[in-house]
Amino acid sequence: MATVPVAGEGQEVAVFASGCFWGTEYYLQKVDGVVATTCGYTGGFVKNPTYREICNKRTGHYEAVHVLYEPQKVSFEELARVFFETHDPTQRDGQGPDIGPQYRSAIFFQNDQQRAVSDELKRLLVTKGFDVATEILPAAVFYSAENYHQDYYDNKGGTPYCHAPRKLF
């Protein structure tokens, strides 16, 4: 398992779930000001879950990406906009061809400011006519996924099959 980095001075954490974590990580790690990304699992009720357990849909976890970033270079709002604009926030219980509870769309807020920004962006999308399925949830324990899930597209090549950028805001 990869180590989840701890925020140092001048750094903050954001956690996003938007289907397969490979695609979520692919787009977020390209944002200037992002220091590190880690694929993993959060929001469930089993300690130290494995990918196999997640896929068996018995843990309640989301596939998610832990983002360590420098807020003086990129704001949480900018990261959240990338999150919303690189997946379909209206799809329920999955993303593209990946269907199941582990692929739900969610933002796990770390503080009141992240919650307020997340709620406001979701509200903006609703006013534009989108039936947003993205959940806004308090941060939960984040478990790193197995090493072969980390930096997947950087290591294997290619681009995400179920994430594609589009302008929403």
55 has catalytic annotation: no
> What DSSP string runs through 9-55?
TT-EEEEEEESSHHHHHHHHTTSTTEEEEEEEEES-SSSS--HHHHH
Answer yes or no: are the C-beta atoms of 18 and 102 closer than 8 Å: no
**Active-site residue (options: 20, 39, 55, 162):** 20
Answer yes or no: are the C-beta atoms of 17 and 64 closer than 8 Å: yes
Active-site residues: which are they? Answer: 20
